[in-house]
Structure formats: structure tokens, C-alpha cells
């Protein structure tokens, strides 16, 4: 008799684990690739409001290609602000993708840029290196943000709130 009740209990445990896994999958599916209808300029305004823009300059389409290897024509919106000097590490790249299928490409480009900058400052730019270590790469549906700043977490929160 104990075997049957133990088997029943084990089956119930497995059932609840499966229900929990399905729920997690559904939550991830509906939140991870959520398409935002937020206007690009509105999102940019929210992001830039929390950033010290005085240390950065706006990047041209050519600079976006050079630093990130991304073609601005492939996106619904893209804006780069990068350091005014070679000793700066403050940087913001905001991208609005036409399709969430571009998430991996954009994330890879952002990670590559971060790695390049960390290599540039490794060993002598301790302040800049620490800033890059705390930088944020945030992919939210059709939007992506890379931010390297003293208050990167606050800028990321403003980004998420704007979506």
C-alpha cells in the first residue's frame, strides 16, 4: 500500500514541476521578446535624461559601422553617443530593431565593443575599466541598449520604464 501512495505522491510532484516549468516558459516567451510600440525619440529622451551627455559626442552612421559593425539602415532607429576623448569610457548605443531576429547580432556587436574597450583600458585605465565592468547590455524585445556610465544601472532602469 505504501508503494502505491508513494508512487502517487511522486507523480504529483512531477506534475507540479511540469506545471511550473510550463509557466516559466510562458512568462519568458511573453516578456522576453515583447515588442515595444514606444517611440524611439521618447525612449532616447528617457535614456539621455539620466546620462551625463557632456562627456560624449554623437556618433555618425559611419562611426556606428566602425565601432559596432552595424548598418544603421537595417534598424528602425539607432543612436550612438561615444567618448569625446580617447581616455573616456562613457558610451550609449540605443537600437530599435525592425525584427527581434536581430537581437543576437545586436547583442554580439555590443559585447564585442565592450570587450574591445575593456582591452583598451586594461592595465592603466582603472577608473574606465571599472566603469566598463559595470556597463549594461539590455535587450528588450525590439529595443537594445548598451550603456557605459557611472550610473549605468539608473540609465538602464529609465530605458526599461520608457518601454
Is residue 87 within 8 A of residue 128, CB to CB? The reply is: yes
Contact 152, 47 (CB under 8 A): no
Contacts of 62 (CB under 8 A, 6+ apart): none
The whole-number pLDDT of residue 9 equals 78
Q: What is the pTM of this model?
A: 0.81
In order along the chain (163 residues), what is the average pLDDT of each group of 10 residues? 61 76 64 82 97 97 98 98 96 97 97 97 94 97 98 97 96
Q: Name the one residue in this structure whose C-alpha cell is 552595424.
A: 70
- Pick from 160, 155, 109: nearest CA to 134: 155
CA 117, CA 89: separation in Å to the nearest integer? 7
Instruction: Single out the residue of 111, 101, 163 nearest to residue 135, CA to CA.
Output: 111
Q: What are the extents of the domains in the chain?
A: 1-32, 40-162
Quote the pLDDT of residue 83. Answer: 97
Contact between residue 68 and residue 103 where contact means Cβ atoms under 8 Å apart? no
What does the block give as the cell for 87?
581616455
Amino acid at each position: 500500500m505504501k508503494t502505491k501512495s508513494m508512487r502517487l505522491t511522486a507523480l504529483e510532484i512531477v506534475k507540479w514541476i511540469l506545471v511550473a516549468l510550463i509557466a516559466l516558459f510562458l512568462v519568458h516567451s511573453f516578456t522576453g521578446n515583447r515588442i515595444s510600440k514606444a517611440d524611439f525619440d521618447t525612449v532616447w529622451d528617457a535614456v539621455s535624461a539620466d546620462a551625463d551627455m557632456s562627456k560624449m559626442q554623437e556618433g555618425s552612421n559611419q562611426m556606428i559601422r566602425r565601432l559596432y559593425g552595424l548598418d544603421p539602415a537595417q534598424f528602425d532607429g539607432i543612436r550612438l553617443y561615444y567618448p569625446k576623448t580617447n581616455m573616456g569610457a562613457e558610451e550609449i548605443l540605443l537600437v530599435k530593431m525592425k525584427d527581434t531576429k536581430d537581437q543576437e547580432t545586436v547583442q554580439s556587436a555590443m559585447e564585442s565593443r565592450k570587450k574591445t574597450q575593456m582591452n583598451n583600458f586594461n592595465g592603466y585605465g582603472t577608473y574606465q575599466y571599472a566603469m566598463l565592468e559595470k556597463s549594461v547590455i539590455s535587450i528588450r524585445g525590439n529595443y537594445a541598449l548598451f550603456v557605459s556610465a557611472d550610473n549605468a544601472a539608473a540609465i538602464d532602469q529609465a530605458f526599461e520604464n520608457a518601454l
